[in-house]
Chain A
Amino acid sequence: MTPFQILDAILIAPFRLPGPPEAGFIFGILALAVASAALGKAGTALVSRVQRVRQEREEAEAAKRSELSYKALRQGDKKAYLAQNNLAQEAYGNTLALSAGRGAALLWPACGALTWLSWRFDGVPMPLLWRSASPASYFIPLFLLALLGLHYLLRKKNAAPPDSPENAASPAGETADESAKADG
């Protein structure tokens, strides 16, 4: 058995659960979407860990410039506000480019799943959907829902009591936001 055949056997298993084939298909594609979302989340966590120093530096720069721009606003110094805001925007641009890696880490399992789905179900009409629908028409919305569900589950799991030390360790962006509010 080749590695691909082993992978294929694993991936097709949920589709063959007893019951009507249509239900098996939808269950299988849901299982695949949840697995892809979980793998994507794990990949994002890995990239975030490696990029942490640079990411925190850029986010801190954006937050600092932003806070200074708010201070300039409060003091009515429009020139200083525009200057600080421009620097904050530059730092934001860097954080946005840096996050492409995290986005890629999140999405590659979905592309792998879509490759397999296209190979497996090429030319097969999708149950309950329109004629030209492909497995992607099912998989993409389910993958997005799975990501959303995992996000809420992880957030709930990581939620700490308001006075616990963990609560202070929020993502840099949120910290910046909160500190900006506190500064205000």
Chain B
Amino acid sequence: MNKRHFFTLAIATLAVSLWLGVAVAQQAAPAPAEAKAVEVANATDAAKPAVAPSTGNKLADAIAKAPHGTEPGMIDETKPAGFLGIPGAPNVSIILAFAWAVWVGWIFSTVGAFGGVMAGVGHMSVFGFGNYAGGLKKSAPELGKIVTDSIKASNQFLVGTSAAISSINYLKMKRLVLPLAISLGLGSLLGAYGAAALSAGKLDFKSYQGYFGLFVLFLGCWLFYQTTPGAKSKQKTAKEAAKAFEDAVKKQKCGEKVEECNLGLKIQRFTMATCEFTFYGVPFHFNPLVPFLGGIVISAVAAFLGVGGGFLLVPFLTSVTQLPMYLAAGTSALAVLVSMITSIITLISKGTPIEWHLVGIELIGITLGSIVGPMTSKYLSDALMKRIFIVLSLYIGLGYSLAGFAGIKIPGV
């Protein structure tokens, strides 16, 4: 069995095990098969099925428990159903959702990963779900937490699943450090499951907004640091070293033969404390515990915030293990997939409702935005765009952190 088959089998086994695990865990007094068959038959025959009174539906139970009335924080039955079918919840215009998603897709294809932040901003601020969930904190905390989980899951679907799917290309390259992939994959599994299972139904919107804000603020500070003279000097030195080497390579005569036995990756030694391998004949080593712990932390953060972890895992692997980029990307792809499968299955199994039509419309918008992006990017200055997004991320990060942790609102956030 080659590595490709091994990993396909491993991922399939993981997905099926989690799925069956959820099935067994939630198997409680199933209805008789005949009754189920009749209900399925009714649903397929009727023009639209009648909504059965829900007993195991978390959302319906939370709505029933919430106070009903016209005051803020109450379920207003006189108003039309909005987000997740909750009466009185914000009802997002399809045009607004689509337009915002085009913007997110445009950012993804021109500026980069900041599109993920913008997807979150859309759900929390632009569509008004954040204010609504925040308003339920005291009057209907259970419902507020369900709405928060749904916002988080929607972010994850827009950002994380796309990143996970694109990671498959790197997984297909078969450049994996097997022990590292196992260590990182196990860590990711634990981190993603732990974060999704522990936070589902327990995280109120204000806390989520605060942590999301801290993450964006950190991103903004990092982007800002990249523009400082110190960082620029380091980048310049690195680029000069890269350029000097590139020039030296060009001057070298072609046809240099390399011993076949030195090609590729060779694991020399693997114990609980160290993994030694050579790549192109150059020795590397790392402590397997480090990627395991890194996998836990990064996947937990990604699952907790509803973002993809790929953009964090690759820099982590290249900096901690000093692995070549393709090896880091290929190895992290497996961890990203494991993490995404785990957190999505966990969220769904915990009964987190997802507004599929909204996510679908947003995905169409992101698709269109990513088509338009490359056509328009040539008219824009990269440096200017970077500065604009640094300011935006600092403002949004600060705004969300203050609103989430201190209850201080700044305009526009």
Interface residues of A (CB under 8 A from B): 8, 12, 15-16, 20-22, 24-25, 28, 43, 46-47, 50-51, 53-54, 62, 65-66, 68-74, 76-77, 79-89, 92-94, 96-112, 114-115, 118-127, 129-134, 136-137, 140-141, 144, 171, 173-174, 176-177, 180-181, 184
Assess the B56–A132 pair: CB atoms within 8 A. yes
Nearest opposing residue in chain A for B318, CB measure: A89
Q: Chain A nearest CB: distance from B211 CB in Å?
A: 22
Quick one: which of A96, A107, A112 contacts B161, CB cutoff 8 A?
A107
Assess the B360–A54 pair: CB atoms within 8 A. no
| With A80-B241, A84-B242, A108-B367: A174-B356 Cβ-Cβ less than 8 Å | no
Nearest opposing residue in chain B for A9, CB measure: B47
**CB proximity to A under 8 Å, residues B297-347:** 310-311, 314-315, 318, 322, 324-326, 328-329, 344
Assess the A70–B280 pair: CB atoms within 8 A. yes
The 8 A CB mask of B364-395 against A (1 = contact, 0 = none) is 10110111011101000000000000000000
User: How far apart sit A180 and B281, CA to CA, in the bound complex (Å)?
Assistant: 15
Assess the A74–B280 pair: CB atoms within 8 A. yes
Beyond A103-B165, A125-B30, A130-B22: 16 further Cβ-contacts under 8 Å?
A15-B44, A24-B44, A28-B44, A53-B374, A68-B242, A84-B245, A97-B311, A100-B115, A100-B116, A107-B161, A121-B49, A123-B52, A124-B42, A127-B33, A127-B36, A130-B23
Size range of the interface on B?
35 or more
User: How far apart sit A108 and B362, CA to CA, in the bound complex (Å)?
Assistant: 8
Q: Chain B nearest CB: distance from A156 CB in Å?
A: 15
Quick one: which of A70, A136, A144 contacts B348, CB cutoff 8 A?
A136
Quick one: which of B39, B264, B325 contacts A65, CB cutoff 8 A?
B325
Judged by a CB distance under 8 angstroms, whether B138 is at the interface is no
- Chain A residues with Cβ under 8 A from B116's Cβ? 100
Assess the B360–A115 pair: CB atoms within 8 A. yes
Judged by a CB distance under 8 angstroms, whether B231 is at the interface is no
User: How far apart sit A43 and B116, CA to CA, in the bound complex (Å)?
Assistant: 21
Quick one: which of B44, B54, B244, B364 contacts A16, CB cutoff 8 A?
B44
Assess the A120–B43 pair: CB atoms within 8 A. yes
Q: Chain B nearest CB: distance from A113 CB in Å?
A: 8
User: How far apart sit A132 and B329, CA to CA, in the bound complex (Å)?
Assistant: 37
A/B interface sample: 12 pairs, CB < 8 A: A15-B44, A46-B371, A89-B318, A96-B310, A100-B166, A102-B166, A104-B363, A105-B370, A111-B157, A127-B33, A130-B23, A181-B263
Assess the A99–B30 pair: CB atoms within 8 A. no
Assess the A25–B325 pair: CB atoms within 8 A. no
Chain B interface helix/strand/loop/mixed: helix
User: How far apart sit A140 and B328, CA to CA, in the bound complex (Å)?
Assistant: 29
User: How far apart sit A129 and B348, CA to CA, in the bound complex (Å)?
Assistant: 14
| With A16-B45, A85-B325: A98-B370 Cβ-Cβ less than 8 Å | yes
Assess the A173–B244 pair: CB atoms within 8 A. no
The 8 A CB mask of B37-74 against A (1 = contact, 0 = none) is 11111111101111111101100000000000000000
Assess the B314–A92 pair: CB atoms within 8 A. yes
Assess the A103–B109 pair: CB atoms within 8 A. no
Assess the B249–A22 pair: CB atoms within 8 A. no
- Chain A residues with Cβ under 8 A from B170's Cβ? 173
- Chain B residues with Cβ under 8 A from A71's Cβ? 245, 249
Assess the A66–B52 pair: CB atoms within 8 A. no
Assess the A114–B371 pair: CB atoms within 8 A. no
User: How far apart sit A77 and B373, CA to CA, in the bound complex (Å)?
Assistant: 38
The 8 A CB mask of B102-136 against A (1 = contact, 0 = none) is 00010011011101100000000000000000000
Assess the A83–B105 pair: CB atoms within 8 A. no
User: How far apart sit A119 and B50, CA to CA, in the bound complex (Å)?
Assistant: 10
User: How far apart sit A180 and B327, CA to CA, in the bound complex (Å)?
Assistant: 12
Assess the A70–B324 pair: CB atoms within 8 A. yes
Quick one: which of B37, B108, B318 contacts A101, CB cutoff 8 A?
B108
Assess the B245–A97 pair: CB atoms within 8 A. no
The 10 closest A-B pairs by CB, nearest first: A101-B370, A103-B162, A111-B360, A99-B166, A123-B52, A80-B245, A108-B363, A21-B41, A104-B366, A88-B325
